[in-house]
Protein backbone atom coordinates (compact mmCIF):
# COMPACT_ATOMS: atom_id res chain seq x y z
CA UNK A 1 0.00 0.00 0.00
CA UNK A 2 2.76 2.46 0.92
CA UNK A 3 4.57 1.63 -2.31
CA UNK A 4 1.46 2.56 -4.37
CA UNK A 5 1.12 5.84 -2.48
CA UNK A 6 4.82 6.59 -3.04
CA UNK A 7 4.52 5.94 -6.78
CA UNK A 8 1.41 8.12 -6.98
CA UNK A 9 3.24 10.97 -5.23
CA UNK A 10 6.20 10.70 -7.64
CA UNK A 11 3.88 10.67 -10.68
CA UNK A 12 1.95 13.71 -9.41
CA UNK A 13 5.17 15.59 -8.64
CA UNK A 14 6.56 14.86 -12.11
CA UNK A 15 3.32 16.04 -13.69
CA UNK A 16 3.36 19.23 -11.64
CA UNK A 17 6.97 20.04 -12.59
CA UNK A 18 6.59 19.61 -16.36
CA UNK A 19 4.09 22.47 -16.88
CA UNK A 20 6.02 24.67 -14.46
CA UNK A 21 8.86 24.98 -16.98
CA UNK A 22 6.43 26.06 -19.70
CA UNK A 23 4.80 28.57 -17.35
CA UNK A 24 8.20 30.02 -16.43
CA UNK A 25 8.95 30.60 -20.14
CA UNK A 26 5.56 32.31 -20.62
CA UNK A 27 6.12 34.55 -17.59
CA UNK A 28 9.58 35.51 -18.84
CA UNK A 29 8.14 36.46 -22.23
CA UNK A 30 5.21 38.44 -20.78
CA UNK A 31 5.90 42.12 -20.04
CA UNK A 32 6.19 43.00 -16.37
CA UNK A 33 3.85 45.41 -14.65
CA UNK A 34 4.84 48.94 -15.55
CA UNK A 35 6.43 50.58 -12.51
CA UNK A 36 9.08 53.13 -11.60
CA UNK A 37 11.39 50.30 -10.56
CA UNK A 38 11.04 48.71 -13.99
CA UNK A 39 11.88 52.03 -15.67
CA UNK A 40 14.92 52.62 -13.45
CA UNK A 41 16.15 49.07 -13.98
CA UNK A 42 15.82 48.89 -17.77
CA UNK A 43 16.13 52.40 -19.18
CA UNK A 44 19.62 53.67 -20.03
CA UNK A 45 21.01 56.59 -22.02
CA UNK A 46 21.99 55.59 -25.56
CA UNK A 47 19.45 52.73 -25.85
CA UNK A 48 17.68 52.30 -29.16
CA UNK A 49 13.95 52.78 -29.55
CA UNK A 50 13.57 49.05 -30.24
CA UNK A 51 15.26 48.28 -26.90
CA UNK A 52 12.93 50.65 -25.06
CA UNK A 53 9.82 49.10 -26.61
CA UNK A 54 11.08 45.61 -25.82
CA UNK A 55 11.63 46.46 -22.15
CA UNK A 56 8.81 48.93 -21.42
CA UNK A 57 6.19 48.28 -24.08
CA UNK A 58 4.55 50.82 -26.36
CA UNK A 59 4.19 54.44 -25.24
CA UNK A 60 0.82 56.17 -24.79
CA UNK A 61 1.88 59.36 -26.58
CA UNK A 62 4.53 59.97 -29.26
CA UNK A 63 5.57 63.45 -30.39
CA UNK A 64 8.21 64.76 -32.81
CA UNK A 65 9.88 68.18 -32.72
CA UNK A 66 10.98 70.35 -35.69
CA UNK A 67 14.38 68.61 -35.88
CA UNK A 68 12.74 65.16 -36.09
CA UNK A 69 13.59 64.08 -32.54
CA UNK A 70 10.92 61.98 -30.85
CA UNK A 71 9.61 62.11 -27.31
CA UNK A 72 7.67 59.17 -25.90
CA UNK A 73 5.30 59.48 -22.96
CA UNK A 74 4.25 56.52 -20.83
CA UNK A 75 1.29 57.52 -18.67
CA UNK A 76 -0.11 54.90 -16.30
CA UNK A 77 -2.88 55.23 -13.72
CA UNK A 78 -3.79 52.55 -11.18
CA UNK A 79 -6.67 52.54 -8.71
CA UNK A 80 -6.27 50.58 -5.50
CA UNK A 81 -9.43 49.70 -3.56
CA UNK A 82 -9.43 48.28 -0.07
CA UNK A 83 -12.64 47.21 1.61
CA UNK A 84 -13.60 45.37 4.75
CA UNK A 85 -16.90 44.02 5.97
CA UNK A 86 -17.92 42.86 9.40
CA UNK A 87 -21.27 41.28 10.14
CA UNK A 88 -23.28 39.28 12.60
CA UNK A 89 -26.40 37.42 11.59
CA UNK A 90 -28.71 35.27 13.73
CA UNK A 91 -31.55 33.21 12.36
CA UNK A 92 -33.73 30.32 13.38
CA UNK A 93 -36.59 28.25 12.12
CA UNK A 94 -38.98 26.27 14.30
CA UNK A 95 -42.33 24.51 14.12
CA UNK A 96 -45.01 23.77 16.65
CA UNK A 97 -45.88 20.35 17.98
CA UNK A 98 -49.48 19.21 18.25
CA UNK A 99 -52.68 20.80 17.02
CA UNK A 100 -52.30 24.11 18.81
CA UNK A 101 -49.38 25.49 16.83
CA UNK A 102 -48.85 24.93 13.13
CA UNK A 103 -46.43 26.65 10.77
CA UNK A 104 -42.94 28.06 10.85
CA UNK A 105 -41.46 30.74 13.04
CA UNK A 106 -38.40 32.61 11.81
CA UNK A 107 -36.13 34.90 13.77
CA UNK A 108 -33.50 37.10 12.21
CA UNK A 109 -31.13 39.81 13.13
CA UNK A 110 -28.26 41.50 11.38
CA UNK A 111 -25.57 44.03 12.20
CA UNK A 112 -23.15 45.14 9.50
CA UNK A 113 -20.26 47.52 9.32
CA UNK A 114 -18.57 48.23 6.00
CA UNK A 115 -15.51 50.31 5.19
CA UNK A 116 -14.04 51.17 1.81
CA UNK A 117 -10.97 53.16 0.91
CA UNK A 118 -9.55 53.88 -2.52
CA UNK A 119 -6.46 55.63 -3.79
CA UNK A 120 -4.98 56.34 -7.17
CA UNK A 121 -1.40 56.13 -8.28
CA UNK A 122 -0.02 57.76 -11.40
CA UNK A 123 3.31 57.28 -13.14
CA UNK A 124 4.31 59.45 -16.08
CA UNK A 125 7.61 58.78 -17.87
CA UNK A 126 8.93 61.03 -20.65
CA UNK A 127 11.77 59.72 -22.85
CA UNK A 128 13.50 62.00 -25.35
CA UNK A 129 15.40 60.50 -28.26
CA UNK A 130 18.17 61.95 -30.39
CA UNK A 131 17.73 62.35 -34.16
CA UNK A 132 19.44 58.96 -34.57
CA UNK A 133 16.84 57.26 -32.31
CA UNK A 134 18.93 56.76 -29.15
CA UNK A 135 17.72 57.69 -25.65
CA UNK A 136 19.00 61.20 -24.98
CA UNK A 137 17.23 61.90 -21.66
CA UNK A 138 14.33 60.72 -19.55
CA UNK A 139 12.31 61.94 -16.57
CA UNK A 140 9.38 60.72 -14.53
CA UNK A 141 6.72 61.82 -12.09
CA UNK A 142 5.21 59.36 -9.59
CA UNK A 143 2.30 60.36 -7.35
CA UNK A 144 -0.29 58.79 -5.08
CA UNK A 145 -3.49 60.39 -3.90
Residue 98 lies in a domain: no
pTM exceeds cut of 0.75: no
Vertex 64: Cα angle to 56 and 138 (nearest 5): 40
Residue 66 lies in a domain: yes
Residue 28 lies in a domain: no
Residue 36 lies in a domain: no
15: β partners? none
What's the CATH number where 62 sits? 3.30.1450
Summarised one tens digit per residue, pLDDT across range 71-125 is 999 999 988 888 877 766 655 555 555 555 555 555 556 667 778 888 999 999 9
Summarised one tens digit per residue, pLDDT across range 35-67 is 899 999 999 999 999 999 999 999 999 999 999
pLDDT band at residue 30 under the 50/70/90 scheme: very low
Task: Give the pLDDT score at 82.
Answer: 84
Task: Quote the domain boundaries for residue 129.
Answer: 45-85+113-145
In eight-state DSSP terms, residue 76 is: E
Number of domains, the chain: 1
Residue 126 lies in a domain: yes
Residue 59 lies in a domain: yes
Residue 135 lies in a domain: yes
Amino acid sequence: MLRCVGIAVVVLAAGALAPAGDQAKEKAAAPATFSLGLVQKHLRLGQSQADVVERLGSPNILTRDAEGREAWVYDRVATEVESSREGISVGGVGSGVGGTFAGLVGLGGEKRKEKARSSQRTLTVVIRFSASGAVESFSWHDSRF
